[in-house]
Amino acid sequence: MNTIRSISILAILFSGLLFAQETFTLKSNDLGGQATMTQEFNGFGCTGENTSPQLSWENAPEGTKSFAITMYDPDAPTGSGWWHWVVFDIPESVTELVANAGNIDLKLAPKGAIQSITDYGAKGYGGPCPPEGHGLHQYIITVHALKTDKLGLNENTNAAVVGYYLWLNTIEKASIVFYYQREKK
């Protein structure tokens, strides 16, 4: 009886592994739980390197035709958060953004990808720069798997409008959360 029970348990465990699905996942070789001066913005009183992190994703859902990346701070004292990075029309064949791809001048982003206006009023990556003494801010980087190859927007589109089009076209999304704060001087 114990042998039959053991075989049954093993069969259930094995079938669970066999049929387990891989989930849509976002990873970074550059980020841990906290941002560093490498990612911090250079401006608004911050003196960081403003380098966007390396990002990679896997197991995109069926039907994905393109990707978008957003970076958002819900803790910004604005009443509506703060958009730090908005990239869309990333081709479906791309599964990585290299470090500093958010620097428009370096042209490291994938061909065809559009980096539009952030809440800093500029295109490309704008790193963390919370107000001094405001405590920890949460930064959410999200990859959106989209059901369209192009959003039909351009580099002058603001983050709220891009966000609306992402809401209309997202199949699945995956996120990384990290934190940053500036101490009062």
pTM of the model: 0.88
The yes-or-no verdict on residue 11 having pLDDT over 50 is: no
Three-class DSSP category at 84: strand
Residue 99 in contact with residue 31, Cβ under 8 Å?
Answer: no
The yes-or-no verdict on residue 7 having pLDDT over 70 is: no
Domains of the chain: 22-180 (3.90.280.10)
Arithmetic mean of pLDDT, 120-138: 95
pLDDT band at 146 (very low <50, low <70, confident <90, very high): very high
Tokens for 58?
Answer: 């896997």
Tokens for 143?
Answer: 């990859």
The predicted pLDDT at position 185 comes to 75
The predicted pLDDT at position 151 comes to 98
pLDDT per position as a tens digit, 81-103: 999 999 999 999 999 999 999 99
